Amino acid sequence: MTKDIPDNLVRRTAFPASVSRAVGTPLQPSVVYASPDPDTLDAQYEGGAFGYTYSREGHPNASVLASKIDALEGAEGGLITATGMAAVTATLLGLLSHGDHIIGGNQLYGRSLRMLTKELPRYGISHTLADPTDIAAIEAAVTPQTKMILVEVVSNPTLRVADMDGIAALAKEKGLILVVDNTFTTPRAYRPFEHGADVVIHSITKLLAGHSDAMLGYVAARDPAHREAIEGTIVTLGLSGSPYDCWMAERGLMSFHLRYDRAEENAAKLADHIAQLGARVLYPGRPDHPDHNRAGALLGPRFGNMVSFEIQGGRAAANALTRAMPDMAFAPTLGDIGTTVSHAASSSHRGLTPEGRAALGMSEGFFRVSVGVEDIALLKDEFSRGFAAL
Ligand SMILES: *Cc1c(COP(=O)(O)O)cnc(C)c1O
């Protein structure tokens, strides 16, 4: 009897041998990897041989992306997760246990705050939120159960700058794990491992990937035991990132330094322009920012691409401003190659009462701008038009 399908139809075959090589990074979507024999598979699991097994546990596109971010952060063995929040989750659940206490910055990313206040208590992990610009407040939050401090260098959206040196010294003195979410600052401005951090987290989704079309996170730990615990949590809880997103993010990352430098240059100019238009502006690079001196010492001249400002006139003025700038994305994200504008009261901080927002310095007229790489003249024109509508 003749075969009705060719042998190679179902069985996978290798690409034809080629003396030339692909210039683009290959995308490897395979979920599973075939080993030659059980002895080799044993060696793979036991570390005697390197090889992929099942892509929840690792795959080539994640390895390539992680090693590039490792190089930026001065880290080793960084891990890729499905989202930035998956990196936060893996770090907290991987390193904390029932009975432990964590100190978090009081202006952490909204979902990280929810993680501390709504999720961790269900697992018996308690927390205190404290102002990371005030080292006495952080120190006062330490209890005998405290195991970890989680901070962001620059807060969202008020752009306050944490006392990172004070916090690192405190963490060292008390034997606490210092976790730094470096999403806003990026390694272009601040490399937490050089300043005493034990764990560094990124939402790759933001500036590192930079095009709002891939969602991933990154986490690296200085201590191999911490790394192993976090990796175990990622693989068991299923928090790993997909090959396609890694492949997209790697492409975005290739231009990260160029995008960052240009966006930062634009941000400084746009901050001054918005101040001239009459708003109260928050930009760490401006001498009128409350943490300007600390920002200069910690970040040098790298004051970042985020600018916040506040206008008078409540919600009506906020609506008028965004409607008068229809080509600029009014969207709750940051780090895109193009400029995006977000409004705390209707998005990131909508869970708070108006009084709660006021205590953090955010009225209905409070906006945050993630500045992109456009021609600065275009950006100035758009904001001029927006303010003219007020
Ligand atoms: C966006 C963000 C996160 C979460 O990242 P996702 O990729 O959206 O899950 C965590 N921390 C900071 C500072 C962020 O801006």
d(CA 362, CA 367): 8
Check if 368 has its Cβ closer than 6 Å to any atom of ligand 1: no
CA gyration radius for the chain?
Answer: 23
For 360-385, how does the pLDDT look when each residue is reduced to its tens digit (9 = 90+)? Answer: 888 999 999 999 999 999 999 999 99
Q: Which residues are identified as catalytic?
A: 56, 109, 181, 206
Instruction: Please tell me the predicted confidence (pLDDT) of residue 1.
Output: 62
Task: Look up residue 313 and give its amino acid.
Answer: G
Taking the CB of residue 293, how many other CB atoms lie within 10 A of it? 12
**Which atom from ligand 1 is nearest to the alpha carbon of 215?**
7
**Backbone phi, then psi, for 358, in 5-degree steps?**
-60, -35
Specify the residue with its C-alpha closest to ligand 1, atom 4: 84
Mean pLDDT by 10 residues, the chain (390 residues): 84 91 96 97 95 98 98 98 98 98 95 95 98 98 98 94 98 98 97 98 98 98 98 98 98 98 98 98 97 95 96 95 95 95 91 86 94 98 97
* 130, containing H or E segment: strand 126-130
Instruction: Please tell me the predicted confidence (pLDDT) of residue 114.
Output: 93
Determine the distance separating the centroid of ligand 1 and the alpha carbon of 84, expressed in angstroms.
5
Pocket test for ligand 1, best of 91, 116, 150, 206 (most atoms within 8 A of CB): 206
Instruction: Please tell me the predicted confidence (pLDDT) of residue 384.
Output: 98
* 243, containing H or E segment: helix 243-253
**Which atom from ligand 1 is nearest to the alpha carbon of 334?**
15
d(CA 105, CA 109): 9
d(CA 297, CA 261): 19
Check if 264 has its Cβ closer than 6 Å to any atom of ligand 1: no
Burial class of residue 211 (count of CB atoms within 10 Å of its CB; 0-12, 13-18, 19+): middle
CB 208 within 8 A of CB 69: yes
Determine the distance separating the centroid of ligand 1 and the alpha carbon of 109, expressed in angstroms.
7
Instruction: Please tell me the predicted confidence (pLDDT) of residue 300.
Output: 87
Determine the distance separating the centroid of ligand 1 and the alpha carbon of 154, expressed in angstroms.
13
Question: Would you state the structure tokens that stand for residue 127, as one six-digit string?
Answer: 């927390």
Which of 214, 204, 239, 251 has its CA nearest to residue 26? 251
Determine the distance separating the centroid of ligand 1 and the alpha carbon of 333, expressed in angstroms.
9
d(CA 256, CA 389): 34
Instruction: Please tell me the predicted confidence (pLDDT) of residue 349.
Output: 86
β-strand 366-370 against 340-343: which pairing, if any? Answer: antiparallel
